[in-house]
Amino acid sequence: MHVKFTTLCVAAGSALALGAIASFSASAAPAAIPDYIKAAVAEPTRPDRDRQRDADRKPEQVIAFAGIKPGDKVGELMPGGGYFTRIFCRVVGPSGHVYATSVGPVVKRERPPSPDTEAATPNPCTNVTADITPAADFSLPSGLDVVWTSENYHDLHNAMFGKPDMKAFDSAIFKALKPGGVFIVEDHAAEAGSGARDTETLHRIDERLVRQEVTSAGFVFVAASDVLHNADDPHTAKVFELHGKSDKFLLKFRKPRR
């Protein structure tokens, strides 16, 4: 059963065998940044703590890569403190909507403090619906243009979320999207070939595993962006210790139109 509430809830921060995966495509060229994204990021009501993170999170570039635009219906998974929610709601505008959906953990566990696990800041937008759902019974509203998750996909491989069936989870996202809709995954990069080994300890995941899992649900891989890549990260430290400087991958998948 889903629990509805009116403010953004805080998201608490089985490995699958790696099959043969096609060679990686070249990173996408940087997308031009539309004025409506620039305006949303420059919105004066954004909290100062959000603005202080912009240099590391690069919201203009990553949202332009995602292609979110006015009028879109966006499903945001595990929104944390609402950093992206407060930008998305301005980008999609009054004709769009943001469904901020947290995934409820099955096991409570202490985690190091981070900006996305602090108390959520109230959102002045009126086009946001917040929800919480258990991973084992995960679903989203239908007819979405974009589903987005940032720095949280790896968490779903951990005991605190019950290690849900990732094919079933990704299939629920596939079902919620319109034909041609996109699924965006941004996360902390783990050592190549490590699979889900470091999801619990370092809070990282192997990019190849994410591609394998998502495409197994019917998605087509579209592009990757290296806008959040940090070559100085050796992939051996806990991401909380790097204060926003971890190496991250950014992937776009599409639901076929037919």
Q: Residue 152: which residues within 8 A CB-CB, separation 6 or more?
A: 11, 13, 77, 78, 80, 187
Would you give the DSSP letter of residue 126? S
Chain-centroid distance of CA 10 in Å reads 14
- Report pLDDT digits (tens) over 179-238: 999 999 999 999 999 999 999 999 999 999 999 999 999 999 999 999 999 999 999 999
Would you give the DSSP letter of residue 26? P
Sheet holding 248-254: strands in order across?
3-5, 128-134, 97-104, 73-77, 144-150, 177-188, 248-254, 220-225
| Residue 142 structure tokens | 């239908």
% of the chain at pLDDT higher than 70: 83
**79 CB-side CA count, 13 A:** 32
Question: Domains in the chain, start-ordered, CATH in brackets?
Answer: 3-10+55-254 (3.40.50.150)
Look at the pTM and tell me if it is higher than 0.95: no
**Is the model's pLDDT at 246 over the cut of 70?**
yes
| Residue 84 structure tokens | 């992206």
- Report pLDDT digits (tens) over 58-109: 999 999 999 999 999 999 999 999 999 999 999 999 999 999 999 988 876 5
Strands 177-188 and 73-77, sheet pairing: unpaired
pLDDT (0 to 100) of residue 30: 75
